[in-house]
Chains A and B, each alone.
Chain A
Amino acid sequence: MLDKRMTVAEIIGTLRDGMTIGIGGWAARRKPMALVREIVRSPLKDLTVVAYGGPDIGMLCAAGKVRQLIFGFVTLDMLPLDMHYRTARQAGAFECRELDEGLVLLGLRAAAMRVPFLPTRVGFGTDVLKYNPWVRTVRSPYDDGEELVAMPALRLDAALLHVTEADALGNCVILSPDPFFDEHLARAADRTYLSCERLVPTAQVCGRERARYNPFERNLVAGVAEVPFGAHPTAGVPGYGFDLDHLNAYNAAAGEGWAAYRAKYIDLPDHASYLAAVGGAERIAAIPAPVF
């Protein structure tokens, strides 16, 4: 019988220096933050990170884990700018591969399809191609002869995602209003690791009614960790909204405050300690879903 259950530390323990890691979620929503904090605690370095960025990126930048960032934006939703990302970006602390969000999607799709690139016009007319000379152009082989951007495949060594429920085999559902680009990250990755709010028996994951919330197949999934409130301080709807108070404190800790933030919220023995440090599970569960 397949059993892909792992601890957060076991999952991050499979990663290696220099890997390309895709992180699911979007801005301050459904980020696999327990897995991200474990990377911060780990000795991992020189990572290439692909994300629709939120505090995952800010934390990894603050911890000096990011050698190269492939992204379209970094934001904390209600707080437009992540100050940790901003500090690192302004210092030139990582190689900046800033792309249109749709180009990131096309790169993931190309990887999923196992083709070297997908053609698009996105990027023309802008500085995206100037600052990303690794993105080349191609001429249509058909009569139109059009020059197109050849968005290269963004192959990931691993994808880290936070889902609502999963079973021990890696079947999962994302019940939040938007599954974001998690499916594309999973399909672009050699292996995908899930944290989930609840680990449930197989018969309860999907069923007929919820089958459409199942974003991808279990044979993409290498490991599953049950981490209730594992997206905190980002939103894990349904269940809890983003923790604006915590995000404000996190943002205010950019620069000199990082060491204290890290000591208080990251360098902790286990997830239970984290939940206690941020005010407890009941407090998080009481944060309403955001209204946009």
Chain B
Amino acid sequence: MSTHDYTLAELCITAAAEAWRGDGEVLATGIGLVPRLAAGLAKLTFNPALMITDAEAHLVAEPVPVGPRNGYEPIIEAWMPYSRTFDLLWSGRRHAMVGPVQIDRFGQSNISAIGDYVRPKAALLGVRGFPGNSISHINSFFVPNHSTRAFVPGEVDMVAGAGYNPQRFPGGRLPAGFEIRLIVTDLAVLDFGGPQHQIRVRSLHPGISFEQVQDNTGFSLVLPASIPVTPAPGADALRLIRERLDPHGQRASVFKGNPPGQRAA
């Protein structure tokens, strides 16, 4: 593959890395392969101050390549066990990118249960740290299957992560500093830049139309006057993704058939 060709996964990693631009010295937590590679890419390129983990119990000075390490020894710069992670995250000095199963128009997110709460059709992980994360620090989302099943009409079945829905907060006010920054999907990059934090299409992936995105979303999206195309990964980014961050090519399994980033319109 030449550096001018890139896959959809590589496009999403590059787009997702942008979430941490300008964040400075925060803990960048990427849950799942694409967010993890994206956090690593952000650290290796435009935000070297980011703190990242080995996905176990340490902060590392440089991203640990995913998969078999073949002798690579992580450079451990600090200890970050789970209980300490809560002390850090309650301080707000973190920006996590996570993968909710459902997201609604407020940015409320669900990883707990699908269907009726008492007798769910599908019990998932449980709310995990979503409630605390959502009100304590910046969050972003990665959604590999942009569809009306993921972007649901109404509200998510169980609100595990809070969204821009003031009615759910005491006094009808969002907590200070509340922010959901980016939603990166297989079709587009979304943000909350519409009126009253409505979800807006920030960029469309190459070959994808606004209508395609809207048709696969269970609520109305804000259509800006013009929508840019999601920038292609640069040669440096591609080299870092392929050689440093994911040398075994695990990203090929993110999307069925590992499609190219440039899709036919």
> Residues of A with Cβ closer than 8 Å to B?
26, 52-53, 71-75, 80-81, 85-86, 89-92, 96, 98-103, 105, 120-128, 131, 137, 146-147, 177-181, 183-184, 291-292
Instruction: Tell me whether B135 and A71 are in contact (CB under 8 A).
Output: no
Minimal beta-carbon separation of A281 from chain B (angstroms): 25
In the complex the two chains form, is A122's CB within 8 Å of B132's CB? yes
122-138 of chain B: CB within 8 A of chain A: 122-132, 134-136
Could you list 17 further interchain pairs (A-B, Cβ under 8 angstroms) beyond the known A52-B82, A86-B123? A72-B129, A81-B123, A89-B120, A90-B122, A100-B128, A100-B132, A102-B129, A102-B132, A122-B135, A125-B159, A125-B175, A126-B159, A127-B112, A127-B158, A128-B160, A137-B170, A180-B83
* Other-chain contact of B126, A53, A122, A180, A183 (Cβ < 8 Å): A53
Q: Which of A52, A126, A127, A292 has the most B CB atoms < 10 Å from its CB? A: A126
Q: How far is the CB of A181 from chain B (nearest CB, A)?
A: 6
Asked if A100 meets B129 with Cβ closer than 8 Å, knowing A26-B82, A124-B169, the reply is yes
Q: Which of B160-192 contact A (CB under 8 A)?
A: 160-163, 165, 168-171, 174-175
Residue among A75, A91, A124, A184 with the highest chain B CB neighbour number at 10 A: A124
Closest chain A CB from B225 CB (angstroms): 32
Total interface residues on B, CB under 8 Å, equals 49
| Shortest distance between the CB of B257 and any CB in chain A (Å) | 22
CB–CB A125/B135 < 8 A? yes
Is there an interface contact between A128 and B131, defined as CB atoms closer than 8 Å?
yes
B68 to chain A: which residues have CB within 8 Å?
A: 291
How far apart are the CA atoms of A289 and B55 in the complex, in Å?
14
Question: In the complex, A74 Cα to B124 Cα: how many Å?
Answer: 9
Question: Do B123 and A89 touch across chains, with their CB atoms under 8 A apart?
Answer: yes
Q: Which residues of A contact B81 (CB under 8 A)?
A: 177-180
- In the bound complex, do residue B86 and residue A101 qualify as a contact, i.e. CB atoms below 8 Å apart? yes
Nearest-Cβ distance from residue A28 to partner chain B, whole angstroms:
13
| A178-B56 in contact (CB<8A) | yes
B192 to chain A: closest CB distance in Å? 15
Residue of A nearest to B115 (CB): A90
Complexed CA–CA distance, A147 and B132 (Å): 16
With the chains together, A98 CA to B125 CA distance in Å? 10
